[in-house]
């Protein structure tokens, strides 16, 4: 990861340097060409305009004095050419017809017919050839013959020092980029390596493995990844503990009725017990086993989404009364009360609702001291059922886990839902499958409160 990050950063730095530096240098060259060409145009035009006046000696050109003065001024002009801000000045003398020997033009300078036409019209022409800039302007000598002034200069953008500075600055920037990539790569790859090692350890069964917990102020992707790995490990560790404890709990729940059935069967065979009494015990223990196996099958079907639901419009208040009457007939010590204000219609499966109510009411009866109160009402377009008991209530630390599968085996809670911890887990799955929600809390009177809602029906 560090190597790839370094390559990416260095690549970005180099691309930036090339684009920025190369663009700047190219712009400087373009501006130098334009500036050099403009200067040459002005200088050449001025030189050509004044050369005729400079060569005019004021007397007829045929006299010896005029020829002597003219030769002196030509020699002076040759000296002046060396101090002009140009590299070379060439003067071509034309014929009386205005024709020039273009072979005498400086090396690299060419004039097209269009350029010559522009010169005859009194214009100054200019151009570039490679790194050479030139300008040409036409004028007339004192004897009436035309002459052509051509000035040239090498284009120098003055980039020598700039290129060297750019090179060293680029090298320093690349080194800094490599250093930053190395540091950043180590910082980023370290938590990734830790997470990878932790994942391998967890996959190998070491569920107690944890990575470094990021500080509360860290909320980047790597910090969230570390938290997620720790949360996953905690969840897997707890699930394994629950599974192990569940197997122990179910094994006990299965062994107890099976031991009773076997014992009474042997007693009947030996003739040491009343057959009628033994048959009653065997029947009760068989029902207990049947209920446990049914709970296991129901939960497996719910989690596999293999349960079928026939949601129809039903009276939830009537279902509450039926569940309360059934619970009252099976328990003589606890008083069950149903409180409704009339029909409360919901969209749900009547058979599954009856199963939910039976589990909740039966669960409340196990922990109540004297009474269980079941109420039903319509609220905000929903049908709501509340089950309160006057028992010890649910400890705060167990509230988030009440409806979890195998709840009774989790962390040795103070309150156990039932022997196998499946009843309330089934309730949660059924209610949510019908589009509702079930919640656990404590009643104002101090006991437990379990309530759920289902979608209402008009």
Structural domains of the chain sorted by starting position, each given as residue range(s) with its CATH number in brackets: 2-161 (3.30.450.20), 207-306 (1.10.287.130), 312-455 (3.30.565.10)
Q: Tokens 């707890």 correspond to what residue?
A: 238
pLDDT per position as a tens digit, 398-418? 888 888 765 553 334 344 434
Task: Of 157, 130, 131, 153, give the one whose Cα is nearest residue 24.
Answer: 157
Instruction: Please enumerate in sequence order all residues whose Cβ is within 8 A of that of 10, keeping only pairs 6 or more positions apart, or say none.
Output: 174, 177, 178, 181
- d(CA 298, CA 304) in angstroms, rounded, equals 10
The pLDDT of residue 249 is: 64
Average pLDDT in the 27-37 region? Answer: 79
Helices 275-303 and 423-433, axial angle in degrees (round to 10): 40
More confident call, 228 vs 16 = 228
Element (H, E) at 3: helix 2-55
Average pLDDT in the 416-421 region? Answer: 46
Most confident of 66-75, 260-269, 289-298, 378-387: 378-387
Element (H, E) at 169: helix 160-203
pTM of the model: 0.47
Q: Tell me: pLDDT of 425 over 70.
A: yes
The pLDDT of residue 51 is: 65
pLDDT bin (cut points 50, 70, 90) of residue 122 is confident
What's the longest Cα–Cα distance across the chain? 170
The DSSP letter of residue 213 is: P
- d(CA 352, CA 340) in angstroms, rounded, equals 20
Strand, helix or coil for residue 335? strand
Instruction: Please enumerate in sequence order all residues whose Cβ is within 8 A of that of 144, keeping only pairs 6 or more positions apart, or say none.
Output: 96
The pLDDT of residue 98 is: 72
pLDDT per position as a tens digit, 49-85? 666 555 554 555 455 665 555 555 555 555 555 545 5
- d(CA 335, CA 339) in angstroms, rounded, equals 13
- Contact call for residues 398 and 413 (beta carbons, < 8 A): yes
- d(CA 267, CA 146) in angstroms, rounded, equals 146
Neighbours of 2 (CB within 10 A): 16
- d(CA 394, CA 404) in angstroms, rounded, equals 14
The pLDDT of residue 378 is: 93
């Amino acid at each position: 990861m560090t190597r790839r990050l370094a390559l990416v950063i260095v690549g970005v730095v180099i691309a930036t340097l090339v684009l920025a530096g190369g663009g700047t240098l190219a712009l400087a060259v373009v501006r130098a060409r334009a500036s050099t060409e403009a200067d040459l145009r002005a200088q050449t035009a001025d030189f050509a305009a004044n050369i005729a006046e400079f060569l005019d000696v004021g007397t007829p050109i045929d006299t010896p004095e005029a020829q002597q003065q003219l030769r002196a001024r030509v020699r002076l002009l040759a000296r002046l050419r060396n101090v002009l801000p140009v590299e070379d000045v060439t003067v071509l003398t034309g014929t009386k017809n205005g024709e020039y020997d273009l072979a005498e033009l400086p090396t690299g300078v060419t004039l097209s017919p269009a350029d010559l036409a522009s010169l005859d019209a009194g214009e100054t022409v200019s151009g570039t050839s490679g790194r050479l800039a030139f300008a040409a302007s036409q004028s007339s000598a004192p004897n009436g013959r035309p002459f052509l002034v051509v000035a040239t200069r090498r284009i120098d953008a003055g980039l020598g020092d700039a290129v060297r500075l750019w090179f060293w600055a680029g090298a320093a920037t690349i080194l800094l980029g490599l250093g930053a990539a190395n540091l950043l790569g180590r910082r980023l790859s370290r938590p990734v390596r830790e997470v990878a090692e932790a994942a391998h350890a967890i996959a190998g069964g070491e569920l107690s493995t944890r990575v470094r917990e990021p500080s509360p102020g860290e909320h980047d992707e790597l910090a969230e990844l570390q938290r997620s790995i720790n949360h996953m490990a905690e969840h897997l560790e707890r699930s394994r503990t629950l599974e192990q404890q569940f197997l122990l709990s179910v094994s006990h729940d299965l062994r107890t009725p099976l031991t009773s059935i076997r014992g009474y069967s042997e007693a009947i065979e030996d003739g040491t017990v009343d057959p009628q009494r033994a048959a009653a015990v065997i029947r009760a223990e068989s029902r207990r086993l049947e209920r446990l196996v049914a709970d296991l099958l129901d939960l497996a079907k719910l989690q596999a989404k293999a349960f079928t639901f026939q949601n129809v419009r039903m009276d939830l208040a009537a279902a509450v009364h039926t569940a309360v009457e059934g619970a009252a007939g099976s328990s003589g010590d606890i008083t069950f009360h149903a409180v409704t204000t009339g029909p409360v219609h919901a969209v749900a499966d009547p058979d599954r609702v009856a199963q939910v109510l039976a589990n909740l009411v039966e669960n409340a009866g196990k922990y109540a001291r004297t009474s269980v109160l079941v109420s039903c009402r319509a609220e905000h377009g929903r049908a709501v059922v509340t089950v309160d008991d006057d028992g010890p209530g649910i400890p705060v630390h167990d509230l988030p886990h009440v409806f979890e599968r195998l709840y009774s085996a989790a962390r040795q809670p103070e309150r156990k839902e039932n022997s196998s911890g499946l009843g309330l887990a089934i309730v949660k799955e059924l209610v949510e499958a019908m589009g509702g929600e079930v919640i656990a809390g404590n009643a104002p009177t101090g006991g437990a409160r379990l309530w759920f809602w289902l979608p209402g029906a008009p």
